[in-house]
Amino acid sequence: ESLVDKTCKEDYALHPEQELRFEVEKGEYAKIQVLEGNAELFGTELIKQKPYFFNGGKGYGIFTWSSCKVRITGKTESAYISKDTPMVQYLNVSFAIEGLRKKAEEREDQVDNQGNPLDARGPRVMVVGGTDVGKTTLCRLLLNYGVRLGRRPVFIDLDVGQQSIGIPGSIGALMVERPADPVEGFDMKAPIVYHYGHTTPNANFKLYSALITRIQDLYNNKCHYNQKVHHSGCVINTCGWVNRKGYDTLLETAKTFEADVVLCLDAERLYQDLVRDLPDFVNIMLLKKSPGVLTRSKEQRREAREALIREYYDGPRGQFFPHSFDVPFDNIDIFKIGTPSLPNSALPIGTTMGDTETKLMSVAPSTDIMNHILAVSRAETVEEELTETNVSGFVVVKAVDEERRVMTVKSPAPHPLIGRYMLLSTLRYMD
Ligand code: ADP
Ligand code: MG
């Protein structure tokens, strides 16, 4: 409340199907209150009169199906009302997905004429498109609408560049049980996160596809034990890299997950290619991009990545208190996945590059790993597939004392760390 500039205050009256778009000034906060009517933010209903504090660096769109009055208190970069939104199209998609869930539910306990049980699997929805087309926002909207209808959809985020479940450089899955908090997003109490270590699938395709297979196994398993999750299906977010190998990765992901629905945001060419290359049973839809989606430069995308890591340690409102402590070298083992690429001629006879991409390499702690992110593996022994075991969290190396054989790390949780095995990321973070 004290961070909001109260001298800037404006009320906005929205008509049916209009959206109030705003961006808060960098480093500032703005208070939003719905004074009258019904409004939602990316599919989450806003509570009337309740103050919400939004910070800079992101774009927001408050939408109303009926009408509403909204007050913004604080400094904004921009704020305007638009009636040009793709929300009706998105709502129809959401209804179509719900229809598939109902069908899945009806198949439960039914048998075909040979007496075999019917597959009660819910829709597996994949969202694809270039960078900055609103993929993450569409996932959030679909998940929110799903959970508001009483479903338990699973969110799978495969975007290693702008990851929203783990931190950039990882991939994650999350069962959604309640709508996202307008400010803090989805409840992250029990996500499953895997270390990848790079910001693009390009850096290590073999590892990336191994992790996709792993996460889909895990999801199938969850469906096996939980009927509700099984019917509800999942929403899969993907990377914004859609050309050449990026495209091949999308095809592979669709195949691995046996996606039923592919939502293609604002990319006609990609849509045509997918129609040509994906099997007939896949329902592929070309959707409009919201004019409200912010376009980011390469530099802004890097900043957005940093902001995601900062949020992991400090909380979306800076309300967390990250811990810092010393870890003796003797208590940990650090590994890197994959050896540097070598030309085939330089490889030992009988091996191929593929063998080295998922190979574990021991890394001695040294000042070389300063500011690097380390994923703390849940593996208890090194014999467990370290590359394919999920992680409990991420620490940042703040100092390395080779003489005393200790390093200082920043961690979201207090000492002691849960695991001995750590995986080195190429990502660095400085606060
Ligand atoms: P992508 O995942 O394709 O990169 P995002 O969904 O992250 O795109 O959207 C990019 C930015 O635009 C985010 O800050 C998001 O909050 C913002 N944004 C998305 N939709 C809207 C909208 N309708 N109005 C205002 N800002 C929006
Ligand atoms: Mg995104």
- DSSP three-state, residue 367: helix
Rounded to whole angstroms, the Cα distance separating 62 from 46 reads 9
pLDDT score for 384: 76
Alpha helix (H) residue ranges in 108-164: 135-148
Nearest to 162 by CA among 241, 93, 66: 241
Distance (Å) from CA 207 to ligand 1 centroid:
29
Dihedral angle sign, alpha carbons of residues 218, 307, 64, 132: negative
Distance (Å) from CA 137 to ligand 2 centroid:
7
CB 407 within 8 A of CB 397: yes
pLDDT score for 313: 92
- DSSP three-state, residue 133: coil
Distance (Å) from CA 429 to ligand 2 centroid:
20
54 Cβ below 6 A of ligand 1: no
Q: Which-ligand-closest: CA of 58?
A: 1
- pTM for the whole structure: 0.95
Angle, helices 87-107 vs 135-148, to 10°: value is 50
Burial class (CB in 10 A: 0-12, 13-18, 19+), 405: exposed
Dihedral, 189, 190, 194, 195 alpha carbons, nearest 10? 20
**Residue where the block lists tokens 């973070």:** 429
pLDDT score for 344: 63
**Residue where the block lists tokens 């929300």:** 87
Return the bridge partners of 80, or none.
21
**Best residue among 82, 293, 302, 303 to mutate for probing ligand 1, ranked by most atoms within 8 Å of CB:** 293
- DSSP three-state, residue 307: helix
What distance, in Å, lies between the first and last C-alpha atoms of the chain?
25
Residue closest by Cα to atom 18 of ligand 1: 293
294 Cβ below 6 A of ligand 1: yes
**How do strand 29-37 and strand 68-74 relate by DSSP bridges?**
antiparallel
Q: Quote the distance between the C-alpha of residue 136 and its chain's center.
A: 7
Q: Quote the distance between the C-alpha of residue 101 and its chain's center.
A: 23
Alpha helix (H) residue ranges in 258-297: 268-277
Return the bridge partners of 235, or none.
125, 155
163 Cβ below 6 A of ligand 1: no
CB 1 within 8 A of CB 62: no
Q: Which-ligand-closest: CA of 135?
A: 1
Rounded to whole angstroms, the Cα distance separating 225 from 62 reads 37
**pLDDT tens digit at each of 431 positions of the chain:** 777 888 899 999 999 999 999 999 888 899 999 999 999 999 999 999 999 999 888 899 999 999 999 999 999 999 999 999 999 999 999 999 999 999 999 998 888 889 888 889 999 999 999 999 999 999 999 999 999 999 999 999 999 999 999 999 999 999 999 999 999 999 988 899 999 999 999 999 999 999 999 999 999 999 999 999 999 999 999 999 999 999 999 999 999 999 999 999 999 999 999 999 999 999 999 999 999 999 999 999 999 999 999 999 988 777 888 899 999 999 999 999 987 666 666 666 666 655 688 889 999 999 999 999 999 999 988 877 888 999 999 999 999 999 999 999 999 877 666 789 999 999 999 98
pLDDT score for 197: 97
Q: Which residues have C-beta within 8 Å of that of residue 278, sequence separation ≥ 6?
A: 251, 254, 259, 262, 284
Distance (Å) from CA 156 to ligand 2 centroid:
12
183 Cβ below 6 A of ligand 1: no
Atom number in ligand 1 closest to CA 59: 26
- DSSP three-state, residue 421: strand
Give the number of C-alpha atoms closer than 13 A to the C-alpha of residue 205, restricted to the C-beta side. Answer: 13
CB 26 within 8 A of CB 42: no
pLDDT score for 318: 78
Distance (Å) from CA 327 to ligand 2 centroid:
34
Rounded to whole angstroms, the Cα distance separating 325 from 223 reads 39
Distance (Å) from CA 232 to ligand 1 centroid:
25
Return the bridge partners of 336, or none.
361
Rounded to whole angstroms, the Cα distance separating 189 from 85 reads 33
pLDDT score for 224: 93
pLDDT score for 237: 98
Dihedral, 380, 381, 387, 393 alpha carbons, nearest 10? 30
pLDDT score for 136: 98
Residue 303 is encoded by which pair of tokens?
């900043």
Q: Quote the distance between the C-alpha of residue 95 and its chain's center.
A: 23
290 Cβ below 6 A of ligand 1: yes
293 Cβ below 6 A of ligand 1: yes
User: How big is the chain by its Cα radius of gyration, in Å?
Assistant: 23
Q: Is the peptide bond before 416 cis (omega within 30 degrees of 0)?
A: yes
Q: Which-ligand-closest: CA of 162?
A: 2
Identify the helix (H) or strand (E) that includes residue 236: strand 234-237
Dihedral, 318, 323, 324, 325 alpha carbons, nearest 10? 180
pLDDT score for 339: 74
Rounded to whole angstroms, the Cα distance separating 14 from 87 reads 15
Give the number of C-alpha atoms closer than 13 A to the C-alpha of residue 92, restricted to the C-beta side. Answer: 9
Nearest to 30 by CA among 6, 50, 14, 12: 6
42 Cβ below 6 A of ligand 1: no
Rounded to whole angstroms, the Cα distance separating 308 from 315 reads 10
